[in-house]
A and B are shown apart, each in its own frame.
Chain A
Amino acid sequence: MGDWKTITVPIPSSESKNISQFTSETNMSPSSLCSQQVLCPSLPLAKSVHNFFRAFCTEENVDQSVSYLDQELTTLGFPSLYEESKGKEVKRDLNIVAVLNCIQELLVLHRKNLLAQENVETQNLKLGSDMDHLQNCYSKLKEQLETSRREMIGLQERDRQLQGKNRNLHQLLKNEKDEVQKLQNIIASRATQYNHDMKRKEREYNKLKERLHQLVMNKKDKKTAMDILNYVGRADGKRGAWRTGKTEARNEDEMYKVLLSDYEQRQKQILLENAELKKVLQQMKKEMISLLTSQKQKPKEKAEDTPGTVLSDVEEDNSELSKENMWELSCETVREQLTNSIRKQWRILKSHVEKLDTQVSKVHLGGFKDEEVISRQDHEQETEKLELEIQQCKEMIQTQQQLLQQFTTTCDDDTSSLLQDCYLLEEKERLEEEWALFKEQKKNFEKERRSFTEAAIRLGLERKAFEEDRAGWLKQQFLNMTSFDNKNSENGKPQSAFSGSSDQDNLTLHSKPGQKSYSVFSESSVRTSKLTKSLPVSPSTSELFQTIRHISENSSSCVLNVATEDTKPNQVGRECTAQKWSVASRSDSQEGGCSGSRSLACTDWSIEHRDGLP
């Protein structure tokens, strides 16, 4: 890239050109290389330049190099590095300011050059891409040209072929024409021949006919005759007249009369038609005149090309109109006049119509916007109309629906309902009754269930209270039996710990007399048995142990019952609805019977409660 740049730089700018020229003049001195390399912006090059400078200027050749530079710079148009000397012999001093200025200028120049270079480079790039593009275009166009050329060749070929075909067809046509001509000639010749033959044959035929005729006539054919009873009178009642010259003349006359009458009739018809046509013509003319005059007065103000002659013509025609009767003469002069006037008017009318046409077309062209507006208005109107229509349609649909509904309802009323109504009503009533019944029952059941649950809850509560009571009682008994106030105080804690068990113990004791509390007791007995097993046996009285033992004896028989009893309260609630509760359990055993009795008691309670509730 760098090389390429260095090559391209000198070409566009005039300054660098100068430089190159100068450098070329200086026979590729090291400084020329330097000047070239000064323009290169890249660092490594700068380094090399630095190196080069070091080589260029040493301590020994400072003066030389300064003079060389001065020379170079002066040639390049810079002010001299040396101070202006008064005498030539005196060795000139280096002017630092000038040097610095020179350096500054060189730097500026250098920057400028760099900028220019950049511009040039970008331009170059642009141009390069343009060039590429153009080359592409060029190649494409070339291709196109090639293809079109090929196409042209193809078309030319086709054209040639078609021309050939055309020529062939022309040839064929010619041949066909010739053939047609030939055939026509043949036909014509055949026709003539046929006619000739026909004529010959006909002549022969005629001869034969003639002979036959003669034969038939000459034979005096007796058979040829008319056998008639009597002659009939003529249709017109006249006698047949002899054929004479007179009759001939008369026939002739009559014929002409017939013809004449026919012609007369036709003439009459034609006259009639003519008269009618004339009438139509007159009317048309009148209308035309009136139309034209009325129109003329208007456009006269506009001064459009309505020549005054026309008006005069019209007036003339008007005057002619007064002489209408002349038309009835139907003589040639009148006809001419008539046709002329009609033609004139027709021309006027035509021109007028044409004018109108052009106007209309102009208006059509000019007033397109107006038309658009109109169309919009139309559009709006149309939409309104359509909306109205839609509404109407909707209404229609509604009415139709109503009608349909009415129809269907009436239809139901009409036939099926009349027959089925009583039926349905009956059934409905029955069903409703049943429904009410069911509802009532349901209500009852629900009430009962509620009362049962309440009863169960109450039972539970009562049991608790009872148990508490018993526990209290047991405590008292214990206290009474042991009568160890101290011990009691010592065992106070553990007692409280199994307060439940102690309660139950009390229960067991209490249960002995009444079987009613048996089930409850058995439940507690299980617990107590458990307690006896799990808990370390506390030092208690023998009685207590005895009672416990007694309980454990019964417990084996009681466990089953407990299981049944546990479920019982629920079962009671449930089976009450079915009104056949605990029959099986009652029959099971005594305990079952007991539970049954107890549950019965429960029901009694519930009933009581029910009474109490409301």
Chain B
Amino acid sequence: MNFSEVFKLSNQLSKFSPNGKFLASCVQYRLVVRDVSTLQIFQLYTCLDQIHHLEWSADSLFILCAMYKRGLVQVWSLEQPEWHCKIDEGSAGLVASCWSPDGRHILNTTEFHLRITVWSLCTKSVSYIKYPKACQQGISFTKDGRYMALAERRDCKDYISLFVCSDWQLLRHFETDTQDLAGIEWGPNGCVLAAWDSCLEYKILLYSLDGRLLSTYSAYEWSLGIKAIAWSPSSQFLAIGSYDEKVRILNHVTWKMITEFGHPTTINNPKIVVYKETEKSQNLEMENLPFPPTRAAASSLFSTESKYEVVSSPVSLQTLKPLTDRPNPKIGIGVLAFSPDNCFLATRNDNIPNAVWIWDIQKLKLFVVLEHLSAVRSFQWDPQQARLAVCTGRSQVYLWSPAGCVSVQVPAEGDFQILSLCWHRSGDSMALLSKDQLCLCYLENEGVK
């Protein structure tokens, strides 16, 4: 495993281009585009203010930089560096901006969710979509980029509008049977739309592309409901993480529950492998340190190395007691993701923040638990194989694959606290992002050593 040198970064804004050739990163008001293979600066753009949001167009030709404070969006072309485009939302303000899947339209959400403005880069035309709903996940595009679903709120009722992305024509518009729609998400096949209610009620609704309600599922009543959902890449399963610390998996034929995964604090089954991160003692190395310590040595002194150890069951995991008097309590399954080959599901129970649970979907059983020294910030599956990268805000990046797992120290000067990470589409490298730095990590093809 190799690491690149460290680059400056602000707001953790760094993204690989969808074609995998470039890496865009923001430093204050500057946008730097590097060639991934050489890490040479390919283009350098200067925006009008500090950048808050960065997004590549789907064809990797344009980059969108949003400056929310100013209500501005600037678009840069990779092919024509002199080409520029600036979109000003004016007094309406800006809270979100995104590309349409065709890479020629920009959807800006104004403040207070007054409207969504659809700007076209091809024509002068501007479209407005009224009554967008202010919610967790109000816009969802199908994977093929043909359709967009939008959550709306009119007259105290939730609606979903389906648009054809090519000409922004409204295809369907229907009311949903929800108290307070929290999010919508297309299945990967682009034919089923999952819509779930806010956490006050456990309710998930499944709609077909033509607006028919396919099914409704509710596991229980009277307590906090759905926290996060995830579609399996094959659209076969819908995993629903909820506040009762369980994941329920629905099938795509009957939309009934297949199984539910509990996340107990103690793991008794000896078949489940529990990897526990433990700190390596550095006493031996202390003796070999040069007296006027070099910067690298000093930094390594303060950032302790760690390794995984297999712990024999029963294992009790560190738990966090959620505050009951605060909104959005830290309890329940907050993050969950399927591996690209559909074989595994990784979850995080927010009141056991140090652990990542990996479930075997073929056997519908818990497979592995990784317990870390710090709370898991984020994890992401390798887009090519069943390999999970985890970061916990320490200077280690953790990799798990069915063959085993490993903790790797980032050999950067100073404390490189990895807050998030994103894989390159090839699965050969990933970008590790700290608060103000960026580092690329290259992996060998053999998988985890």
A residues sitting closer than 8 Å to B (CB atoms) are: 184, 187, 195, 198-199, 202-203, 206, 209, 212-213, 216, 219, 221-236, 240-241, 243, 247-248, 251-252, 254-256, 258-259, 262
Contacts and interface: CB of A to CB of B under 8 A. Distances in A.
B114 A235 contact: no
Given A187-B222, A232-B104, A212 B122 contact: no
A235 B169 contact: no
B210 interface: yes
Contacts of B191: 258-259, 262
Interface of B: 58-59, 77, 82-92, 102-104, 110, 112, 114-115, 119-126, 130, 146-147, 153, 155-156, 164, 166-167, 169, 171, 179, 189-191, 208-210, 222
A224 B88 contact: yes
Given A206-B155, A236-B102, 14 more contacts: A213-B115, A221-B90, A221-B91, A223-B91, A224-B92, A225-B90, A226-B87, A227-B85, A228-B121, A229-B83, A233-B122, A240-B120, A254-B146, A258-B190
- Nearest first, the 8 closest Cβ-Cβ pairs linking A and B are A223-B90, A224-B90, A221-B90, A262-B191, A228-B85, A227-B86, A199-B156, A251-B164
Contacts of A203: 155-156
Contact of A252 (B126, B171, B189): B171
A252 B222 CA distance: 40
B237 to A, nearest CB: 14
A483 to B, nearest CB: 123
A212 B110 CA distance: 11
A262 to B, nearest CB: 4
A258 B215 CA distance: 20
A247 B88 contact: no
A151 B272 CA distance: 53
A226 B156 contact: no
A235 B100 CA distance: 11
14 contacts: A203-B155, A216-B90, A216-B110, A221-B90, A229-B85, A232-B104, A235-B103, A243-B167, A247-B167, A251-B164, A251-B166, A252-B171, A255-B171, A262-B190
Contact of B92 (A187, A195, A216): A216
A430 B59 CA distance: 99
Given A203-B156, A235-B103, A248-B169, A226 B114 contact: no
A225 B82 CA distance: 20
A611 to B, nearest CB: 85
A241 B166 CA distance: 9
A109 B399 CA distance: 119
Contacts of B209: 255, 258-259, 262
Nearest to A195: B179
Nearest to B120: A240
Nearest to A226: B87
Given A202-B156, A231-B123, A243 B169 contact: yes
Scoring A199, A232, A243, A248 by chain B CB atoms within 10 A of each residue's CB, the highest score goes to A232
A590 B423 CA distance: 125
B102 A234 contact: yes
A259 B123 contact: no
Nearest to A221: B90
B114 A212 contact: yes
A235 B125 CA distance: 16
A235 B59 contact: yes
Contacts of B87: 225-227
Given A199-B156, A202-B156, A259-B208, A232 B121 contact: yes
A254 B115 CA distance: 27
A247 B210 contact: no
B169 A251 contact: yes
Given A228-B121, A229-B85, A251-B171, A259 B210 contact: yes
A240 B103 contact: no
Contacts of B147: 255
B210 A255 contact: yes
A40 to B, nearest CB: 92
Contacts of B153: 202
Contacts of A254: 146, 164
Contacts of A213: 114-115, 130
A483 B152 CA distance: 181
A198 B110 CA distance: 23
B85 A241 contact: no
Contacts of B58: 235
B67 to A, nearest CB: 14
Contacts of A256: 210
A511 B253 CA distance: 151
A227 to B, nearest CB: 4
Contacts of A212: 112, 114
Contacts of A198: 156
A206 B92 CA distance: 16
Nearest to A256: B210
A219 B92 CA distance: 11
A243 B124 CA distance: 15
Nearest to A238: B166
Contacts of A226: 85-88, 119, 126
A229 B190 CA distance: 35
Nearest to B154: A206
Nearest to A263: B191
B121 A231 contact: yes
Contacts of B102: 234-236
Contacts of B222: 184, 187
B206 to A, nearest CB: 14
Contacts of A224: 88-92
Contacts of A232: 77, 104, 121-122
Nearest to B106: A226
Contacts of A184: 222
Contacts of A236: 102
Nearest to B59: A235
Give the one of A219, A227, A251, A252 with max B CB within 10 A. A251
A199 B155 CA distance: 8
Contacts of A251: 164, 166-167, 169, 171
A227 B72 CA distance: 11
A195 B200 CA distance: 12
Contacts of A234: 102, 104, 122
B250 to A, nearest CB: 16
A247 B169 CA distance: 9
A240 B89 contact: no
B200 to A, nearest CB: 8
A273 to B, nearest CB: 10
A216 B104 contact: no
A177 to B, nearest CB: 16
Contacts of A255: 147, 164, 171, 209-210
B129 to A, nearest CB: 12
Contacts of B125: 240
B145 to A, nearest CB: 9
B189 to A, nearest CB: 6
Contacts of A216: 90-92, 110, 114
A271 to B, nearest CB: 13
Contacts of B89: 224
A20 to B, nearest CB: 92
Contacts of B103: 235
A419 to B, nearest CB: 36
B18 to A, nearest CB: 12
Given A226-B119, A229-B85, A231-B123, A258 B167 contact: no
Contacts of B123: 231, 240
